[in-house]
Amino acid sequence: MTGNGLRQIKFFEFLTDEERREFEEEAELVVFEPGETFIEEGSRPSSLYVLTSGRVEVWKLIPGSGNRLLATIDASEERTVVGERGLLGDSGASATVRAKGEVEAIRIPRSTFRRMISEGRPAAFKLSYRIARTLARRLTRLDEEVVEAIRDLERRGETDLDAFRDKLVTDWTV
Amino acid sequence: MQETPPLPDVPLFERLDREEREELGELLEPVSFGPGEMLIEEGKKDEKLYVLTSGTVEVYKQVIPRRDQLLATIEAPSVVGEMGLLTEPRAAASVVAKTAVKAHGIQRDRFLSMLDAESPAAYKVVYELGRTLAGRMSRTDDSIAKIIPQLECANRRGSRDLNIFQDKLIEEWSF
């Protein structure tokens, strides 16, 4: 395998070969030991990782109820992208990602991506378009789920409805 | 030749150089709304996004059918209708002018053509939109984390649907 290969990764499919090569040149190959944390909740925005082998766990701190396992991702089934929001956002990561066994990944550091943006490189802007679309789809689906849940609570006469509604439906974008 | 309207001074256009401003300026259609006028109607095709340069708008949604709920109040400078650019062009909520509003409309189709043609100006605007969405995703994640213990309380009282809801929320997590 050509180490930094981004070729067969869905997330990078929309780039031309040339643009993919630009990212391959900037990307770093990284190996994580079992138990190693490479995205830490709250600390800072993450870099983007393409997981190429191994398994990772995604943990999230739930207020009043401790750390919760949100997901286990097996990269040997399909190469998976994590941390993409960190390239665009300024707030800290909202979950912790930890290697379960040995994990290999391709890292596009946030600082590298930001430099490519300030250099005005089209490849970086195209990737940000891809990330923006991913975020928009997720937000739209979340909004739909929230509305469904509120309607459901209303039908059953739940009393916590107002608190629930205020918490979830405060940051709407159209 | 008509004179190009000046590009409004909003964060969305901050990164554009002079040439890019002129290119994008050609897409802008100055428009104003009186109090109570609707910029975007829930459920309708989202054909434009609006760059608000002055005034205040309110966002409403029929969360419970036939009952409009106020979701947000947005003050200029800001943008509404941008989700339609990035997903399906179907407005998830209505946007109504609360005060007199001055804005610039941008046709969705024309903007998407610019993106297809890989226009740097359009890409720069999308980059800024993406940064806004990343911030919103992060705040949404926080809200959901706070709501989960409450959902679990309700689940213990036997609401099975909420379990499903909770699973879906977790699936859509972005970090």
Confidence of residue B111 (pLDDT cuts 50, 70, 90): very high
For residue A38, is pLDDT > 90? Answer: yes
pLDDT in tens, B28-75: 999 999 999 999 999 998 889 999 999 999 999 888 777 888 888 899
Confidence of residue B124 (pLDDT cuts 50, 70, 90): very high
Nearest by Cα to B70 from A153, A143, A154, A170: A170
Q: Do the Cβ atoms of B130 and A70 come within 8 Å?
A: no
For residue A173, is pLDDT > 80? Answer: no
User: CB–CB of B25/B13 below 8 Å?
Assistant: no
A116 to chain B, any CB pair closer than 8 A? The answer is no
**Residues across chain A:** 174
Nearest by Cα to B85 from B119, B57, B111, B50: B111
A117 to chain B, any CB pair closer than 8 A? The answer is yes
A148 to chain B, any CB pair closer than 8 A? The answer is yes
Q: Do the Cβ atoms of A172 and B71 come within 8 Å?
A: yes
Predicted local distance difference test score (pLDDT) of residue B32: 98
Q: Which residue of A has its CA nearest to B86?
A: A133
Alpha-carbon distance of A157 to A162, in angstroms, equals: 11
Predicted local distance difference test score (pLDDT) of residue A145: 79
Contacts of B52 (CB under 8 A, 6+ apart): B74, B75, B76, B77, B78, B79, B80, B101, B102, B103
A139 to chain B, any CB pair closer than 8 A? The answer is yes
Based on C-alpha coordinates, what's the Rg of chain B?
19
Residue A172 vs residue A18, higher pLDDT: A18
Predicted local distance difference test score (pLDDT) of residue A62: 84
Predicted local distance difference test score (pLDDT) of residue B163: 65
Predicted local distance difference test score (pLDDT) of residue A149: 75
Predicted local distance difference test score (pLDDT) of residue B82: 87
Predicted local distance difference test score (pLDDT) of residue A78: 85
Nearest to A132 among B126, B161, B169 (CB): B126
Nearest by Cα to A12 from A100, A111, A79: A79
**B86 vs A contacts (CB less than 8 Å):** 132-133, 135-137
Give me the sheet containing A96-99, strands edge to edge: A37-39, A96-99, A55-62, A66-74
For residue A1, is pLDDT > 50? Answer: no
Q: What is the mean pLDDT of chain B?
A: 84
User: CB–CB of A32/A103 below 8 Å?
Assistant: yes
Contacts of B23 (CB under 8 A, 6+ apart): B114, B119, B121
Its sign, for the CA torsion B108, A14, A84, B127, is negative
Alpha-carbon distance of A69 to B76, in angstroms, equals: 40
Nearest to B130 among A131, A138, A169 (CB): A131
3-state secondary structure B29-90: EEEEECCCCEEECCCCECCEEEEEEECEEEEEEEEECCEEEEEEEEECCEEECCHHHHCCCE
pLDDT in tens, A91-119: 999 899 999 999 999 999 999 999 999 99
Mean pLDDT of B14-23: 89
Residue B81 vs residue A173, higher pLDDT: B81
DSSP string over B87-154:
S-SB-SSEEEESS-EEEEEEEHHHHHHHHHTT-HHHHHHHHHHHHHHHHHHHHHHHHHHHHHHHHHHH
User: Rounded to the nearest 5°, which phi and psi values hold at B33?
Assistant: -125, 145
Nearest by Cα to B101 from B44, B154, B37: B37
Q: Do the Cβ atoms of A94 and B71 come within 8 Å?
A: no
Q: Do the Cβ atoms of A60 and B145 come within 8 Å?
A: yes
Q: Do the Cβ atoms of B147 and A164 come within 8 Å?
A: yes
**A132 vs B contacts (CB less than 8 Å):** 86, 126-127, 129-130, 133
